[in-house]
Amino acid sequence: MCGIVGNVLARADRTPDLAVLKRMNDRIAHRGPDDEGFLVQGPAGLGMRRLKIIDLTTGHQPMAGEEGRVSVVFNGEIYNYRELRENLGARGHAFTTRSDTEVIVHGYEERGLASVGDLEGMFAFAIWDAPARTLVLARDRLGIKPLYYAVLPDQIVFASELKALVEHPAIDRTLDLTALSRYLAHEYVPAPHSIFRAIRKLAAGHWLTYSDGRVKIEPFWDVHFRRDGAIGEADAVEALRGALDLSVRQHLVSDVPLGVFLSGGIDSSAVAAFAARHFPGRLKTFSIGFEDPSFDETSHARGVARALDTDHHEEILGPRVALDLVARLPELLDEPLGDASLLPTFLLSRFTRRSVTVALSGDGGDELFAGYPTYQAHRLARALELVPHWVRRGLLRPVVERLPVSLDNLSFDFRLKRFMAGMDFGPVERHAAWLGSFTPAEQLALFTPDALARMEMAPSYAAFHEMLAHAPSASGLERMLYLDLKGYLGEGVLAKVDRASMACSLEVRVPLLDRRVVELAASLPMRLKLRGFTTKYVLKRALSGVLPREVLERRKKGFGVPLARWFRAELAPLLQEACAPDMIRRAGLFRPEAVERLLGEHAAGRRDHRKKLYTLLAFQLWASRYHPA
């Protein structure tokens, strides 16, 4: 696992500034504390920081091919590198290391851009093809590893994280107001935008080429909900069990100590169960918990660890540890992210890093197999739509709004109020409203008239419709699965896990997002994922006999923190300071009275604004650190 940076100039007679590359590289030292390397060759400059995982002695980067014509810097892991190495060796390529990085170089020498499709793994890499004077950037299929870039009139600059890119003196820090609006709507900035107007994210499953100042971006993979033929339930269960077993086994390849994040939920428990089968020796598992019982899952993790006989490590934290971390958010996030589970994810990563360098995670199961309550809610909403609109608005909603506010994790009133609020929209907008923070109407009341006038596009849920334009094969609830794979997972969860773990120099791998598992899941009919109101039906069937029944039957909880309570107590001073009327007025983005209303209603217990307030706080803390123009 590494971090990469680079700068390629349009003119062949100019050379990148090595001092600038070094400054950029220093900003991502946490991603790779073990080694660094640079290449300046003609108009191209590449840099990297390395966390040694595979081939600890000879895996130095940038790495060149046989004749030094092709060089690569690479962040990630290629799980099928041994097979690729064997095939490329048979075709005459000479390998000088045991590193997975080298198969990228020789694969490109052999097959050009088509070689990207041969890679099974998580990756973001840059190839400099000197004879063709071409830079190639590529990002893995699901976007597990990040990659940002900026195309300027005379050059391209790229890096694993925004904080490295903005070290380049040519990068303009002007805020993208449309991206900010989309952040407030979804709690992340959807690709290809970033929070800065001049910077873009390379979308998952895409490559980019830059040659003589010309840029070309193309997809090399996407999720397709195809029906090659009716598959029976028994065959689906058997195929899924085999795909999971193979993926987890390949994800165990490492030359350094490895363990598994274990929450006690279905997904992480499944990963731990298959890993325990293949791991040489006793598998290490890790969990953290909180003293607030409505947010603590350690007893469930402990039960799974006992059933699998793992070497289980557990840490229980008081509120102070996570509270202190909130003020450090801008250190962890160089782009706003409105997901407070970043805090426990960082704490779990820090705890895990004391024992191992690599951890396997269960992320992805909910998006592949319809595990979120929102999928059940969509089914319920379809039935409720038969009730006349005036009854829903005039009778049901007022009753729901009068329910007393509870501050517990996923409390009944919190879920019911969000459900009823979503009933004002069509299915796609409803999905966005259920998951996000500020609806377009709420944004119109939040932004100043000046900020709204300067937006290229008025607040909307257009980002979801843009995503769905790439998924013509999806229908019904599959459209929501696609949105969650591309949006909530791809832009939110995976970004959160990458930043939180890399801040601790811990590599996190996600076996459930192996291409073969994803493609198998996408090929299965919806009735095998959501059977009536039973979520993850086929996954639970595949895990029958692998995991204890109580794990498969337990209600989903999520990895949260007691924000609603903290915003009325311990976090109130930080919230008031970051969102003070003078601060808000000076920035000129939000109406101070609108922010004051949110703060006042939450503090008085009249409304639960935990999501809105955290999304605002994360942006305010980010802006105080990065000073966007």
Q: Delimit the domains of the chain by residue range.
A: 2-174+193-219, 233-370+479-553
- Determine contact, residues 157/46, Cβ cutoff 8 Å: no
- Determine contact, residues 304/264, Cβ cutoff 8 Å: yes
Tokens 């195809």 belong to 226
- How far is 1 from 164, CA to CA, in rounded Å? 17
- Determine contact, residues 491/191, Cβ cutoff 8 Å: yes
* Single pTM value for the model: 0.93
pLDDT at 327: 81
- How far is 560 from 339, CA to CA, in rounded Å? 9
Strand ranges of the sheet holding 35-41, from the earlier edge strand across to the other edge: 35-41, 44-50, 2-9, 155-159, 148-152, 200-201
Label residue 560 left, alpha or beta by phi (over 0 means left) and psi (-120 to 50 means alpha): beta
List, by residue number, the catalytic residues: 2
Two structure tokens written together for 581: 């009327």
Q: Which CATH superfamily is domain 233-370+479-553 in?
A: HUPs (3.40.50.620)
- Determine contact, residues 53/357, Cβ cutoff 8 Å: yes
pLDDT at 459: 97
Two structure tokens written together for 288: 């953290």
Query: What are the phi and psi torsion angles at 331 (to 5°)?
Result: -70, -35
Strands 258-261 vs 358-360: parallel, antiparallel or unpaired: parallel
- How far is 550 from 590, CA to CA, in rounded Å? 47
| pLDDT tens, residue by residue, 597-614 | 999 999 999 999 999 999
Nearest to 100 by CA among 111, 88, 92, 112: 88
pLDDT beneath 50, residues of the chain: none
DSSP-derived letter for residue 256 is S
Residue type, 419: F
Half-sphere exposure of 461 (CA within 13 A, CB side): 23
The domain 2-174+193-219 having CATH identifier 3.20.20.70: the answer here is no
